[in-house]
Structure 1
């Protein structure tokens, strides 16, 4: 890949980060088709444009603070993941449909977590299912497709699908090789920013230089267990699992 194309893709990543549409970006930077842009983008960054749109928070460009950047490098955000194999496992949970249009997903997903956490949904999962362990999974289904529509599942790991209620869904997460990132441990008020910052690091810094690319045939997910309970810990964290394969 030549220098000019790389620079175009770097600028395209910025356009994605502020919420521009993939097709508009592709045309603006001289790519003749959506497919051509997506192919070049994945070759360089290791994942498709829509994967970035789903997982990277829409942000206003910030002035670079060298002191803060140095603190991040020595204290947490700059990190190497654990590469691990995970066998297939079963999820029972709740599902809803959302979209990248007008960045609706960035509002819908937090609202869905609030609804499940403050109501009886989460309690009902643990009460009715044969869970493997305590911990909630957040999964984006069809996140690697070119469609702007995708499903989001909030669920728990189970031993079987024998007690699934009418309002619940099932999901078999296939075996995969994962890059596992643990967010820096922070106070409760900084938890969301810690998750967003870790995703930005994964997508913008780790992937392009890692030698890996996203495994489109698998599912990425976030995992929240007792480590994210602010009533138990002064500083909290969670895990991000990204399915990967070695770049060819």
Structure 2
């Protein structure tokens, strides 16, 4: 499969140039993808960002070099750390000890292995989807910056929803919901290294926005719309992972670098029968 080969070639390039400054655009090109889509796909599949993968691999290899007898200061500079102090801090965070302590017999070090991608064939649930074109529209609501480091987005987004429910924002948003219902919008992936902006809102309204509310434009694009069935947030989290790790590689679609949308109709979001939609902007 072209997609699988391309992803593995990208990893081989990263490993061969592990001591060099990361050129993410070149890596994405090897993966036959846009920079944004490659980073998003990689994070969804592995659970870590490219930057985090490189950091862990460097510190794994650095530990081996130190055990082999290389000078700590040389190892620090070899793997791109500007000072030995910065290297010692990063090394300690991963391995739980200083670089000098790693030389002692019996030191318990951590190793983060080189990744490779394989296809796993299994009988899983069907993914119901449709492809539509939709013109641009505006969404208004509240937003918060979300981190993708170590999967924090899967915790921070539900926390944001809970905060909006507690402070009355969600009630106001629900009262203004139009035909689509309440929307969750993930946007600005290209503006932040390890995160994005998440927005809870509705389609544009004529009312003056209260303090703390913002508006954002959703560009005209082609959408792949997937049906999610199940209690939130687990059902949507599982579906989003499957979209990126199963559906996209199987169909040849790529992310079109526009916001992603969750469409929440009225109903009990914690019911095992609750139905909502995930909208992913796509291109062939």
When normalised by structure 1's length, the TM-score is 0.69
Counterpart Cα distance in 1 of 2:275 and 2:16:
38
Q: Answer whether contact 1:92 1:156 (CA < 8 A) is retained.
A: yes
Deviations 1:148-205 (A, max 9, x none): 2421111111343x4111110111212211000001x33x3xx433222211221111
Deviation at 1:6, TM superposition (A): 3.5
Alpha-carbon spacing, 1:194–1:103, altered in 2? closer, same or farther (3 Å): closer
Please say if residues 57 and 196 of structure 1, whose CA atoms lie closer than 8 Å, have aligned partners that are also in contact.
Answer: no
- Describe the shift of the 1:3–1:152 C-alpha distance in structure 2 as closer, same or farther (beyond 3 A): closer
- Distance, in Å, in 2 between the alignment partners of 1:119 and 1:5 is 49
2:180 and 2:2 mapped to 1: Cα distance?
A: 48
Select 1:107's aligned residue among 155, 170, 181: 155
Q: CA deviation at 1:92?
A: 1.1
Superposition RMSD in Å: 3.5
Larger radius of gyration: 2
Q: For the residues of structure 1 that align with 2:25 and 2:143, how far apart are their CA atoms?
A: 29
Instruction: Specify whether residues 82 and 228 from structure 1 end up closer, same or farther in structure 2 by C-alpha distance, changes over 3 A only.
Output: farther
TM-score of the aligned structures, taking structure 2 as reference length: 0.61
Contact 2:184-2:199 within 8 A present in 1 as well: yes
- Of residues 132, 135, 160 in structure 2, which corresponds to 1:84? 132
Establish whether residue 226 from structure 1 lines up as the match of residue 266 from structure 2.
Answer: yes
Can you list the C-alpha shifts for 1:84-108, whole angstroms capped at 9, x where unaligned?
0122222110011222234433322
- What residue is the counterpart of 1:36 in the other structure? 26
Aligned pair 1:139/2:185, yes or no? yes
Name the SS of the counterpart of 1:79 in structure 2: coil
Higher relative contact order (CA 8 A, sep 6+): 1
Matches within 5 A, 1:161-172: 162-172=207-217
> What per-residue deviation string (whole Å, max 9, x for no partner) do you get for residues 126-153 of structure 1?
45x4x42362111122124562242111
Q: How many residues align?
A: 210
Query: C-alpha displacement at 1:110, in angstroms?
Result: 1.2
Matched, 1:236 2:281: no
Q: Is the 8 A contact 2:24 2:35 kept in 1?
A: no
CA distance in 1, matches of 2:2, 2:32: 15
